[in-house]
Amino acid sequence: MYSLTSTCTENSFENSLQVNYFVILGDLTMSASSISSASSTKCYCEVEATMRYANTARNPGRPFLGCPKYNTQGLPYCKFFKWVDRDQMGELELREMTIQALLRKLKELEKKLLDVEKREIELEGRVVEIENKEAEIRLRRTQLPLSVWAFAFFVAFYLVVSK
């Protein structure tokens, strides 16, 4: 298990950014102990603003923060808009990478859960199969002595009647 701790401070963030990095068994897990104001910017709907990139001729690829409800079918949005400064990009990209890593891990865990559930159903089927075979064996064991007694009774009856 590896553990690496690093503290970053940015003067433009007024020393408000401290990020701890933990590398555990090859998985990258990051947590922010204090988050800058840029990462917690909320739109007028009181929802955390999302980072997007402009695709205009005047500002190609320039990042900005906007209402996450914008361009979502049927949802009203507040028209919040704020350009992201270049010095804020590092923290926002770090947060975005963390979110993407967590989403990948979530999908992986959901797949594993689905596999486990399939295996559980398969094993339950096998248990039912084995229980049915056991019941059949028990039934045969009780029927065998009964058939032996019936045969013995028939032979005895035949011997008595035939004399």
Over residues 92-131, the pLDDT tens digits come to 777 777 888 889 999 999 999 999 999 999 999 999 999 9
Contact 63, 89 (CB under 8 A): yes
0.75 surpassed by pTM = no
Handedness of CA 6, 9, 10, 13 (dihedral sign): positive
Predicted confidence at residue 112, as pLDDT, reads: 96
Structure-block tokens of residue 1: 């298990």
Query: For 38-60, what is the mean pLDDT?
Result: 80
Predicted confidence at residue 132, as pLDDT, reads: 96
- C-alpha dihedral (98, 99, 102, 106), degrees to nearest 10: -170
Query: 34 or 42, which is more confident?
Result: 42
Q: What is the mean pLDDT of the chain?
A: 73
Predicted confidence at residue 130, as pLDDT, reads: 97
Say how far apart CA 148 and CA 128 lie, in whole Å: 30
In 3D, which of 51, 20, 43, 23 has the Cα closest to residue 33?
A: 20
Paired strand residues for 42: 48
